[in-house]
Every structure is written in structure tokens, then in C-alpha cells.
Amino acid sequence: MTKTLLTSMLFLAAAATSAVAQAPEPQPVLLPSLSIAGSRLDSTVTYDAARRVYRYAYTIVAAPTNQVAVTGFRVDISGRTEHVPQIDPDLQNNVRRGELRVRQFQPNTALPVGIVVPQPSRMYCGVTRNAEANFQLWEEGDGVAPGRSAGGFVLESKFPPSPRKAALSPDKRSWHTFTEQHPPGTLFDDSTSYEVVTTALAPWEPDDALLYSGGGQQPAEVNKFLRYAQPADNRLPVPAGMSTYTVVVFYGATINPATFSATLNGVDITPQFQPVPGSAQAVTIAIGPGTTKLKLSVEGTKASGGRGTDSDTLTFLPQ
Amino acid sequence: MTIKREYVPDSGGHPHLVSGNTTPPVADILDIAAPSGVTNASGIYTTEVKGMNIAGHLKITAESTGVVPGVTTKSQPFGLHVGFNNLVDLAPLDEPDLAGYLRLTGHNAATCAGTGCDNHRDLSHYAAPEMAGFLLDMAKEYNDTVGPAVIGVNDISLPDGGLFDIDGTWSPSHWYHRIGCGVDIDKTALNPETGADVVLDIYKLTLIVEALGGSKVPEGPVHYELPADVQDAVLGNAGWSHVVSGVTR
């Protein structure tokens, strides 16, 4: 009999983890919609060559059809390696930073940032445990109403741009009001988050393996004078009707800026680019209804001391 | 032979002082796929058992009328415990940091002398080890950004997790309070400077919780959950598990 029971005990471990799902779940009460679908987070980035700092500026654009205000957003600033300390005194910051006053929430792999906002005393900002830059308008009535926009939300970073995950937050105050009208213990259906998940330009820890060379030149080091975080191919299908595209170009450390040129369907657009060696830039170009060709070229110095020219043609193909 | 399960009274954090309904359905603690059958030629009997949704101690015995015909033969009992390992009791809050920012409320002896909440007196603040730090960060951040408040921490989980039936009925009421990762927060806090009650700004507190990786679950007025990766770790590593004590002879 001993063996019998011990055998049974061994089976317990294998089956144990499904136990939580065994109890019948009570029927939840549906929460009111907080839809902010169609809202956008616009982003631009500039580079301060003197300080070697990128300045990311964000604007919340609330869709007219929103059912509640947009109260803020989060942008992924996770990195690949540790960055200690997380506070960089070279970066401008006008918000209270929990890292200095309470405790650091974020992992050390978050990219150090400065945060500058229009009304710091009326916002909750910082870096979250999930390594996101967090901008929240937390005073009642400060949210961005349907059909309105609000800007001036800035991240400063020494890390170059790339399209990164971002999320716009709906005002959840109506949920708090709604739930308080029900007795304690009531279960609510909150399976729909109503956050708008999108992409925005944000600091990124460069990964050589993820930068696209643009194709073309040999040797490989010449082909790295111009590289791209976006696009990842030199022939890029784009949705029909798309009118703009943001190219994120990384300039090699040994390029000669004076030799840089850019044309869009044959038209010189060189002035739109500021090719600072070793920096990156996001440039938004117009996409026509037909095929659009962006040609970039720059000369640089090879490790041998010789010179080479990297020329890339990025072709956008409306589908 | 037949495998018998007997619940050990008050185990798993279910004293049920008010309801007096002290005997749970044992099948809700431990499911035995085939509780009776015939052993093989070596005297071995195999079946699958599964921990269910109520935590507690069980006394397990095996009975047979086949060993001596007409006589019931019983094995020595052995203890089997179904529940979550590693939940820690937040009471008392003896860390200076915790005591300055948090107070335990609800089902603890100091504040719960009435008849409405003593089904689980002193047993409702068991939590995953990460909970204390999470609550402290939350409370410090709130004090630093919103205003002074000693925040009331209400129900978390029973000592071994599992069903937290605040009504003493062995049926769900506190649905999320099972693995030590969910906590109720009182809407009213204590202003440590004036001694007066203050109403918490739940909207701001929730934004702080979200910055900490947690989330608000709309079960009742104010219920927060630890970050999803912490919950995954509790469920996957230390999770709903078993502790076997005693041996049979």
C-alpha cells in the first residue's frame, strides 16, 4: 500500500499547475468603452551636434471620434546593455525623477533619458519598470479631448532614433466611477485595454545586425557609410495612399558631410539632411502615388586611409 | 482499495469563525482521477491526482476489504497539503519603512473585531515575496508625488493561497486573491501628519502602480495585481504546488 500511495503523490506534481483554472469563473460585468482608436502619437527628432544629444518631441493627436480623452503615452526605451547611472546630468530634465527621490523602478538596461514637459507639476513622468518613458497628464480635465492635440513632450537622449513601440492611454476615470457603483467583489470584464499601440521615434541602442546597409557597394566598410534603422530593404512596398515615409539614416563616423547628396525622384533634397558623422537622423520624405526613388550618396574614409563612396537607392512601391 | 480524503479543520487559512461552515468539499482541494480500483500483482495502484482551487491539509488513507475478506483494512494516514508555497505574511509590519507608509487593514485582529470580517482574521495578508517591495514603492511614490498618506492594505491571500472565500461559503468571492499577487487597497488612508483620514486619489495611485509594472483589476473598488512577469514566475516556478508531509506505513 505504501508504494501505491507514493506513486499517486508523484503524479500530483505533473498535474498541479492547471489547478487555478478549475474553479468556475463568475460572469463579469462589461465595462464602458474607452475607445481612442484612430488617435496618433507624432514624433520628430533633432540632433544637437554640440551636445551630442538627440531631442525627441512628441505630439498627441486625439481622434475626433474618441469616447474619452487621451491622458498620455509610453514609449519603449529599453536597451541591450546596462547603463549606469540611469540619470545623465547632460540631459535636460524638468520633471521629478523617482530614481532620485524614491527608488529606481526601471532596469539598468533602459536607455538614460531626460524628460521635458510643458507643465511638469501637472504631469506624472518617468521611466517605468518595463523600461518605457512615461508621460501622463494626471490632473482631471488635462487629458487631450477628442479632436484636439497637445505637444511639447520631449525626451532627450544620447542614443539615436529608431521606430519603437508606443502606446497612447485613454482616460480611465469613468471606469473607476463605474466600478464604485457596484458592490465589492463584483467581477468586471476589462479584457479590452483600449490603449492605442503604435510606433514612434525613440532612443534606440544600435545593433549592427539590425541596421540595413542599403545594399550595393563593396567592400563592406564602404557600404556602412550610410545605414538605415528604417527601411530594412531597398525595395519597400508601402500601402496605397501613403503620402509620407520616415527614413532613419545612420551616418558613418568617417563620412565627409560635404560630399553628401540626396535626391527624391531626381529632385535635389540634400538640404533636408544634416549628415553629422557618427550620428543618425530621421527624415520624412513625400511618397507619390507611383514608384518613389530616394537616392543617397556620401564619400567616406576607409580604415586603410583610402576613400570610397556609398550610394544607396531606396525604392518605395505603393501597393 | 479506495483512497479516502479527509480535510484537516482550519487548514489553509479557512477558520470560518462566523459561518461555521468548516468542511469544504474535498474534491475541491484534491481531485483523484480514480479514487478506487484494484492494485496490480505487485500491490501497486496508480492514478492521477490534481490540486484544485481550495488550499488545505488532507489526511489520506487507503482502505481495502480485499486483504482480509469481510474486514476493512486501513493504511496508516499520511498528510498531503495543497496550496502555494512561499507566501509570506506581511503582518506584523515591523520594518520601519513599511510601518511608515502602509498599514494592514481588514481581516487583522487589530482592526477587525466585528462580525463581518473575521472568517479569515489574521490570515488575509499572505503574499508573494515581491508584494512587500511593490507596496512600499507604491506608497513611497504616492507620498512623494501626491501627498502624505499611510495607505491601508486590505486583503491579499490566505496563508496557502487558493480560494479566498470571505463569506465562508467555499465558493468564489475574492476571485483574484489566490496566488498572493493581488491586493486590495483601502480608499481611505491616514494622514500621518494630522492623524486624519484622507481619501486616496485612486486615479493617480493607479498610474503609479502601472509605472511599477502592476495593473488595476476592476474587482471591487481598488484591487491591484503585481506585474505579469512576477505572476508568471509564481505560477510557473513556485506556483500552485504541493507539500507532502508524513509517510504512510
Q: Residue A136: pLDDT above 60?
A: yes
Comparison of pLDDT for B38 and B167, the residue scoring more: B38
pLDDT of B39 reads: 85
Per-residue pLDDT, B119: 57
pLDDT per position as a tens digit, A142-175 = 999 999 999 999 999 999 999 999 999 999 998 8
A11/B242 Cβ within 8 A: no
* Buried/exposed A210-233: b ≥16 CB within 10 Å, e otherwise: ebbbbeebeeebbbbbbbbbbbee
Note the pLDDT of residue A160: 98
Mutate to test the interface with B, among A4, A178, A193 (most CBs of B within 10 A): A4
| Nearest chain B residue to A20, by CA | B53
What per-residue confidence (pLDDT) applies to B92? 66
pLDDT band at B20 (very low <50, low <70, confident <90, very high): confident
What single-letter DSSP state applies at residue A6?
A: H
Banded model confidence at residue A243, pLDDT cuts 50, 70, 90: very high
Share of chain B above pLDDT 90, in %: 41
What pLDDT sits at residue B94? Answer: 62
Residue bearing the bigger pLDDT, B216 or A204 = A204
- C-alpha–C-alpha distance, residues A181 and A184, integer Å: 9
pLDDT tens by residue, B104-113: 887 544 444 4
CA A297 to centroid of chain Cα atoms = 28
A199 Cα to chain B: minimum distance (Å)? 20
Mean pLDDT of the A240-261 span: 96
Q: pLDDT at position A169, please?
A: 97
Nearest to A102 among B28, B141, B179 (CB): B141
CB-based contacts of B185, cutoff 8 Å, min separation 6: B151, B152, B153, B154, B200, B205, B222, B223, B224
| Phi, psi of B135, rounded to the nearest 5 degrees | -65, -40
Residues in chain A closer than 8 A to B43 (CB atoms): 1, 3-4
| B3 contacts on A by Cβ (under 8 Å) | 5, 8
Contact A8 B46 (CB under 8 A): yes
User: Which residues in A lie closer than 8 A to residue B80 (C-beta atoms)?
Assistant: 9, 12
Q: Strand pairing of A188-189 and A29-30?
A: parallel
Q: Determine the residue of chain B that is closest to A19 in CA distance.
A: B52
Determine whether the interchain pair B211/A134 forms a contact, defined as Cβ–Cβ distance below 8 Å.
Answer: yes
B28 to chain A, closest Cα gap in Å: 8
Closest CA to A312 of A240, A242, A255: A255
Inter-chain residue contact A103 with B137, CB threshold 8 Å: yes
| Nearest-10 Cα torsion for A21, A23, A24, A26 | -90
| Residue B35 confidence class, pLDDT cut points 50, 70, 90 | very high
- The chain A residue lying nearest B202, using CA atoms, is A176
Is B174's pLDDT higher than 90? no
CB pairs under 8 A between A and B: 160
Percentage with pLDDT > 90 across chain A: 78
Is residue B103 pLDDT above 50, yes or no?
yes
Residue B28: phi, psi to the nearest 5?
Answer: -85, -5
Nearest CA to CA, how far is B189 from chain A (Å)? 17
Residues 6+ apart with CB under 8 A from A305: none
Q: Which residue of A has its CA nearest to B232?
A: A17
Chain A residues whose beta carbon lies within 8 Å of the beta carbon of residue B62: 1, 4-5
Q: Burial letters for B43-58: b for 16+ Cβ neighbours within 10 Å, e otherwise? A: eebeeebbbbbbbbbb
CB contacts of A24 in chain B (<8 Å) are 172
Which residue on chain A is closest to B39 by alpha carbon? A4
Give me the residue label for grid cell 509594472: B213
Strands B2-7, B30-32: pairing is: unpaired
Provide the mean pLDDT of chain A. Answer: 90
Beta carbons of B77 and B22 less than 8 angstroms apart: no
On the question of pLDDT at A311 being above 80, the answer is yes
Q: In chain A, which residue's Cα lies nearest the Cα of B40? A: A4
pLDDT tens figures, A73-111: 999 999 999 999 999 999 999 999 988 888 899 999 999
Chain A CB contacts of B227 under 8 Å are 129-130
CB A262 within 8 A of CB A273: yes
Cβ contact (<8 Å) for B51 and A15? yes
Q: Give the Å distances, CA to CA, from A296 to A242, A250, B174.
A: 21, 12, 62
**Mean pLDDT of the region B175-189:** 89
Q: Which of A177-181, A278-282, B134-138, B185-189 has the lowest mean pLDDT?
A: A177-181
Burial of B186 (0-12, 13-18, 19+ CB in 10 A): middle
pLDDT of B75 reads 86
How far is it, in rounded angstroms, from Cα B176 to Cα A212?
47
Q: How far is B43 from chain A (nearest CA, A)?
A: 7
- Residues near B5 by beta carbon (within 8 Å), at least 6 away in sequence: B26, B27, B29, B30, B32, B35, B58, B59, B60
